[in-house]
Amino acid sequence: MLRLTGVVLGLASMALGVAVFHWPDPMLDTLEDSLYVNHFSPASTFALNCTARDNSTIAAQWLRLAYHDMATHNATTGLGGMDGSIAFEYTRAQNIGPGMAESLIDFAVSPNQYVGMSDFIAMGAVNAVIGCGGGPVIPFRGGRKDATEAGPATVPEPQQDLASHIDSFKDQGFNETEMISLVACGHSFGGVRKVDFPLIVTEDVPTGIQTFASKIGFDNTVVTEYLSGSTENVLVVGSNVSTRSDLRIFSSDNNATMQRLASLDTFNQVCADLIGRMIDTVPSDVQLTEPIEPFDYKVTLDTMLFPQGGSLAFLTTLRIIENGKNQTVTLFWKERTGTFCPSEGCSISAFHVNTGVEASLLATLKGVQSFNQHSFNASIDLATSISHFWFEVGNNDGSAPIIVDNHGTNFTIDQDVLIFDPRRSSFTIAGEFMVVGVKTSSPVDVTAFVTTTGPIGGVNPIPMPSNTTISFTLDSAHPPADGYTFYTSDRLPNRYSSSTLHATIDGQAYSLWVPTLSALGV
């Protein structure tokens, strides 16, 4: 047998320095889904084909949001950067325009307890560049931490002089040449709206916006038009001389950097590097992951264990990158106590294979066209339970089967004492209520730490995740069964994204992370 010592990393498996997924890892799980599976990354489609909004494009708004969030960074103190503080800053004059709030709302439904708004803002920049004009692929790292308050007002503004701009970018960690390049990259699409900046756009513009370049989309037209003297970039040739910030920046080294960026290949290479550095600029106490590539083999979020009719129902799904092979997958598991399975483990074949799960644009640019999902519904002996599981993938071509076993450690079921029961839970128009089972008849206090998303507040809502704790009560509608006593939650908040169950049972503390019921298909 060909044993894979874990979950292999797609087309980047031969590359050095990529994130390795050890199940369970809710952060990497969430981010990889959001990057590469369309079902889990609806916001990524918003920027495709340079979708228009507010006389601009969503892609341009997303890239502006990311830079303005990062601009709080101070390379000397290590404070600020890509930390989501823009959610507390977007009403400032330097962040004027509806695009800030709208972009934050685009991402507000995505965070959960393990992945914050700042990771999705950074992901938005990656999708903006490839989705509008087919720009370069920028590696994505995860693990940003969301701020809880506003950062300093350090976004450079058009009326400032060159020295101020150089100082601002230096504080952010970019030298003068990098400043020129990053401004050119950022201004490859988008423009200045007259309604927001009437002192900059002084002429009447029928479209409501003076674009930086004549071509909408990520490329170096902003550079070539500047060098040829044909530019209509209002920050270069606008009638208000004091706000010609692009002119001051672009010409600050006698156009040497702009001349180099006139090569599209060079432009794409430089922009990929600088925008990547921009979104990776984080507070010094934050450690980002290695770049996240599509996982060849991945146990999905819908793995669950719960009592049902005298046994334990075990549901899990293995997602595989479509590779053109006629693959079959077998699930194996071993018992927790006692002896029930044969020496090679109990096993079962998939009851359903969902082929052609749509990949995101980013995934297709990495050579991944779609995914196949092999789903299992195993009946586990109630007395012996389950301790761990693994998969055997056969190519049906005479080659040895591939063993997928979480880097040689197997996929471990840590405990079966506190469980989430999807069949007894409810997900209806009347609201969502979780039901959990505990393996004791003694009274137990069960709570859930719940993360909610979406705008919070009144006139200027803060579109950041928030957390609350809800309680569970003994569930009279579901009497004890199969050794479990059942508790039901208070009604779950609207827009909740995940919850972590907590209970102390027979003197031992247990916890269990549960995504939304809808994400689990309940």
pLDDT of residue 518: 54
| 7 lies in some domain | no
Q: Is residue 520 part of a domain?
A: no
Looking at the fold, whether 397 and 464 belong to one and the same domain comes out as no
The structural domain count of the chain equals 3
What is residue 489's predicted lDDT score, i.e. its pLDDT? Answer: 93
For residue 324, what are the contacts with CB-CB under 8 A and spacing of at least 6? none
Residues 96, 223 within the same domain: yes
Confidence category of residue 493, pLDDT binned at 50, 70, 90: confident
In 3D space, the residue among 266, 47, 19 whose CA is nearest the CA of residue 136 turns out to be 266
For residue range 209-241, what is the model confidence (pLDDT) as tens digits?
A: 999 999 999 999 999 999 999 999 999 999 999
Residue reference for tokens 């010609």: 244
Same domain, 162 and 190: yes
Query: What is the CATH classification number for the domain harbouring 444?
Result: 2.60.40.2440
Taking alpha carbons only, the member of 243, 244, 217, 213 closest to residue 231 is 213
Residues 444 and 402 in one domain: no
In a domain, 205, yes or no: yes
The Cα 371–Cα 60 span in angstroms is: 30
Are 249 and 350 found together in one domain? no
**Residue 44: inside a domain:** no
Instruction: Assess if residue 389 is contained within a domain.
Output: yes
pLDDT at position 15 is 42
23 domain residue, yes or no: no
User: For residues 185 and 168, what is the distance between their CA atoms, to the nearest angstrom?
Assistant: 17
Range of the domain at 358: 297-412
- What the block records as the tokens of 218 is 């990520």
Are 102 and 133 contained in the same domain? yes
Q: For the segment 16-56, what is each residue's pLDDT rounded down to a tens digit?
A: 589 999 999 999 999 999 999 987 766 778 889 999 999 99
Of 392, 412, 432, which closes a domain? 412
Q: Give the tens place of pLDDT for each residue, 328-383.
A: 999 999 999 999 999 999 999 999 999 999 999 999 999 999 999 999 999 999 99
Same domain for 80 and 199? yes
Q: Comparing C-alpha atoms, which of 110, 119, 136, 142 is closest to residue 45? A: 110
Among 381, 412, 443, residue at a domain's last position? 412
Token pair listed for 491: 């009604």
Q: pLDDT exceeding 70 applies to what percent of the chain?
A: 94
**Does 191 share its domain with 266?**
yes
CATH code of the domain covering residue 212: 1.10.520.10
Q: Has residue 2 been placed in a domain?
A: no
Looking at residue 520, its pLDDT comes to: 54
Same domain, 169 and 273: yes
Say whether pLDDT at 6 is over 70: no
- Pairwise CA distance, residues 199 & 235, whole Å: 11
Q: Strand, coil or helix: what is 513?
A: strand
- Closest by Cα among 186, 193, 188, 189 to 55: 193
Q: Which of 12, 39, 17, 16 is nearest to 300 (CA)?
A: 39
Among candidate residues 412, 440, 463, the one where a domain is terminated = 412
Cα distance between residue 413 and residue 306, in whole Å: 12
Beta bridge pairs of residue 428: 431
Instruction: Please indicate, yes or no, whether residues 249 and 361 belong to a single structural domain of this protein.
Output: no
Backbone angle region of 265, left / alpha / beta, with phi > 0 → left and psi within -120 to 50 → alpha:
alpha
Query: Is residue 125 located within the same domain as residue 84?
Result: yes
Task: Say whether both 391 and 472 belong to one domain.
Answer: no
In a domain, 222, yes or no: yes
